[in-house]
Amino acid sequence: MNIDIKEDHYLKRDVNWLYFNARVLQEAKDVKNPLFERIKFLAIFSSNLDEYFKVRVSNLRQIKKIDRFTRKKLHLRPNKTLKQVLKIVNEQQQEFGKIYKETILPELASNSIYFKSSNEYTENQKDFIENYFEEHYKKINILTTNESKLHLGDGELYYSILTTNNELKFVEIPSKDRFIQLPSESNTYIFTLIDDVIKYKINATYKDKIHEIGEIKLSRDAELYLDDDFNGELAEQIYEALSQREIGQPTRLLYDSSISKEHRKLLKENLGLGKVDLMPGGSYHNFSDFMKFKNPSHNKNLEYIAQPPLDHPVLSKSNDLFNTISQKDQIVHFPYQKFDYVSLFLQQAAEDPDVTHIKISLYRIAKTSALNNALIKATELGKNVTIFVEAQARFDEANNIEWGKTFSDKGAKVIYSIPNIKVHSKIFYIKRKERTKTKGYAFISTGNFNANTAKLYIDHGLFTANENITSDIESVFEVLEHNLIIPKTKHLLVSPFNTRVQFYTLIDNEIQNAREGKKAKITAKMNSLHDKRMIHKLYEASMAGVEIRLLIRGFCCLEPEVEGLSDNIYITSIVDRYLEHGRVYCFENGGDEIMFIGSADWMTRNLDYRIEVLTPIYDKDIYKELKCILNLQLNDNVKARVLDHNFSNSYVTNNKSKLRSQYEIYNFLKAKV
């Protein structure tokens, strides 16, 4: 069925992402959250926005340079979108400043925690600052615009100084040890930022030469990532048109809004910025550093009540994980349960004389981990270890390549990125000799093999020895090792080969059932919904009467609540103490429901331009457990927001008992131990 859907019913990704970050800001504003958790949400908001400008806004600015014909063909209006983005960001940053000044700082003070600026130091504190500066920095390094090699670092903090003779100078603000505790009375905690220490020394040393001083931060252009949105010939045209652009060029200057127009003009001229590149901010930038600001008091009410990772009811009692998994599939849920079982299984595989091969795909590698050590040990003990390292994992490239070299030096076979395709799947495969045959074991996850992020990201990981799945996983690794062009899979959904087609088939089946008067329903939980063709397919299903329930943490380009188009689609989003990261897809299938979990969102890049793996859930007990967890998330009425046509981020309200899913899931799993 062909549907004539207006472009208006496909929402702008770059604008919609800001509605997601607004939900993060809501958590920072919510006084029901403990104080130091609200501070962390401000830090997350700031970090998100930095990445957004480095990548998404940078893309918009570069696309402005493309010829009009190509932009029109792609339905791109970068100028209009950019104006809308900057307006929303400015409003959000004003809200951010208001939250920090009017709620965070007063509440810190009520708990005897204070921040002092450079003009508030006592004489005793000035002596401390002088000694601290002498010990750690000794002198102030001033950069001038006359220097031929002047370069302001990406994301680094500087003071911009307008001198009395109208010259512009810069002083770098150190990024290390941003929070400095000052001498104070007992049970009182006084801090100052290194920003203020540097400002104090500047004023003390060059007072007569300074007309105005303000903090700035320059963001630079990141690599252009067009695979998120475009494909084929049009993408090539854009890349070719932008091939001469300077990567790393300045794209945004965040400045202290109190500095003068004259000062801003000089900054614009000397840093080669356009009018839209300047954005007003507060007196301090890089609020993401506040993730490192720890509660100095003994008041535990200022933080979330601890939820230590739980033991798995079966794996924790197992002396032989191969035997346990061989008998029955097992699933782990992070961060509710320990990540240790993943690395323990690999450690056992490394030491097991019957294990011959270990194959794994790594997307974001932890800097240090038991999992990495297990892989190294396996190579040292003579196992055939193959590690696929994604060298294009955004912002983790250097660490991934460094670990790839380490694995290779230890004897592993290391394979790097496939040209024009990222490997985003989270899988490993183990071959083991058992009696007269070789048996396969697999792990398929929605999240990365990273013990640190597993403490914060909600993900699911399936351990299985099911031959249908393990044979398919082996085929996927054959592709990664360049032994096959297309994997021979019958059960797994593997992008970019069969995921889109299989999802279309599953949706079409629901459409047909709805037309026949049967119950038809699609339930999907993902990070983001972006793919236009998938959205059109959901519109088609909605129009046919299929009930569609979506749970989307990030941006959503589908327009809900459009009469005759998306009436049957209901969408919520949960932002809470943990990051919702799991992908779960359920189809009613005439009463015999089908469920998949895996690494792919319904985004063009995940369906067509990345190696992704989703597995069906065949074990009935695991299916029931996942369905229970999913239902708790779908019924959250404490931290869930409704994504309506206005994207107002209104909290779910109903007459049901309060249900905070992340807490209820923890209690549900705790009861199983």
Q: Annotate 40-60 with b (16+ C-beta within 10 A) or e (fewer).
A: bbbbbbbbbbbebbbbbbbbb
Give the residue numbers annotated as catalytic, written as ranges.
Answer: 424
Closest CA to 197 of 224, 159, 227: 159
R_g over Cα of the chain: 27
In one letter, which amino acid is 422?
A: K
Encoded tokens for 656 = 């049901």
CA atoms in the 13 A half-sphere facing the CB of 203: 13
**Contacts of residue 98, Cβ cutoff 8 Å, sequence gap at least 6:** none
Across the beta sheet with 142-144, the strand order is 142-144, 168-173, 157-163, 210-220, 250-256, 278-281
Per the CB < 8 A criterion, the answer to whether 165 and 208 are in contact is: no
Is 553 annotated to bind a ligand? Reply is yes
Helices marked H in 295-426 = 321-327, 340-351, 370-380, 397-409
619 CA to centre of own chain? 30
> How many other C-beta atoms lie within 10 A of the C-beta of residue 148?
4
Instruction: Look at the chain and count its residues.
Output: 673
The CA distance from 522 to 510, in Å, is 8
Token pair 């590149």 is found at 277
The CA distance from 577 to 460, in Å, is 17
The CA distance from 89 to 70, in Å, is 28
Sign of CA dihedral 529, 531, 535, 538: negative
Cα→Cα distances 252→52, 281, 354, Å: 11, 12, 56
Q: In 410-546, at which residue ranges do the beta strands (DSSP E only) sit?
A: 413-415, 422-423, 426-434, 437-445, 457-464, 493-495, 521-526
Per the CB < 8 A criterion, the answer to whether 493 and 596 are in contact is: yes
Is 13 annotated to bind a ligand? Reply is no
Token pair 């320059």 is found at 218
The CA distance from 431 to 355, in Å, is 6
Closest CA to 665 of 599, 577, 586, 588: 577
Is 610 annotated to bind a ligand? Reply is no
DSSP annotation of 421: B
Per the CB < 8 A criterion, the answer to whether 636 and 661 are in contact is: yes
Closest CA to 333 of 491, 427, 455: 455
In one letter, which amino acid is 123?
A: E
Token pair 């609200």 is found at 38
Is 178 annotated to bind a ligand? Reply is no
Is 52 annotated to bind a ligand? Reply is no
Closest CA to 444 of 602, 582, 277: 582
Residues placed in the known binding site for Mg(2+): 364, 394
Q: What residues are designated binding site for ATP? A: 48, 457, 553, 581
Annotated binding site: 48, 364, 394, 457, 553, 581
